[in-house]
Structures are given as structure tokens and as C-alpha cells.
Amino acid sequence: MTGFVALYIFLIAAIAGYEIISRVPVILHTPLMSGSNFVHGIVLVGAMVAMAEARGSLEVTVGFIGVVMATSNVVGGYVSTERMLEMFKSKKENA
């Protein structure tokens, strides 16, 4: 993938991101912030690849820390968003 192809992907993804969020009720701002935090947890796949290709103790150590941090991002992001959204369920049933 050359710079320009990546730039096109980058451009379209940026517009998509902007459009997706442009009509969000205030009520969902916190869960959405948490949810988008979970989505950038995709960094975990990159951390795994970096760890797999790491050579030598320095690279392995940094790679290990990377996987630890990325997993926290994914798991913490999922659990906290899920907990916030659970409340919307109970609310709907009450209404």
C-alpha cells in the first residue's frame, strides 16, 4: 500500500467518522466516547504482530508491554461501554 492509496483510505474514513457522529443525542455522548475508545482497541492486532516479529530482549519487552496495554484498551473499553449501555436496556423496559 503506497502513501497515496493510504491517503485515500484515510480521507474516506475521516469523512465516514465525521458523518457517523454528527447526529448523536447528548444522552449517548459518554457511551459513544467509550465505544469509540473500544474501536481503536483494534491496535491489539498490530501489537500482536509487532510482538510476533520482535527479536531480542528489548523488542520483546516493548512488544509485551504493547500487547498488555492494547488488551487493557480492548477489554476495559468493552466492559465499560457495555455497562453504560446496559442501563439503556432497563430504561426501555421501564418505559
Partner 1 sequence: MGHTSMSFAVQASYLIATLLLVLGLKQMSSPRTARNGMLFAGVGMLLATVVTFLYLPAVHRLASLPGHEGVWWHRLALILIAMAVGGVPAWWSGRRVPLTDMPQMVAIYNGLGGGAAAAIAAVEMYSGRAYLGSLEFPIIAVIGALVGALGLGGSIIAFLKLQGWMGSPRIGGRNFINAILAILLLALTVASIFPSSASYVNLSVDSLVGIFLIASLVFGILITMPIGGADMPVVISTYNACIGLAVGFEGFVLQNPAMIIAGTIVGAAGTLLTVLMARAMNRSFFNVWLSGFGDVGTATAAAGPQQAMKSMDARDAAATMAYFEDVIVVPGYGLAVAQAQHKLWEFVQMLQKRGVRVRFAIHPVAGRMPGHMSVLLAEAGVPYDLIYDLEEINSDFANADVALVIGANDVVNPAARTDKSSPIYGMPILNADQARQVLVIKRGRGAGFSGIENQLFFGANTQLVFGDAQDVISKMIQALKEL
Task: Compute the least distance from the CB of residue 28 to partner 1, in Å.
Answer: 6
Q: Strand locations in 1-95, DSSP E?
A: none
Residue whose C-alpha is closest to residue 28's, from 93, 95, 90, 87: 87
Smallest separation, CB 57 to partner 1 (Å): 11
Q: How far is the CB of 76 from partner 1 (least distance, A)?
A: 4
Residue 55 DSSP code: -
State whether residue 54 is helix, strand or coil.
coil
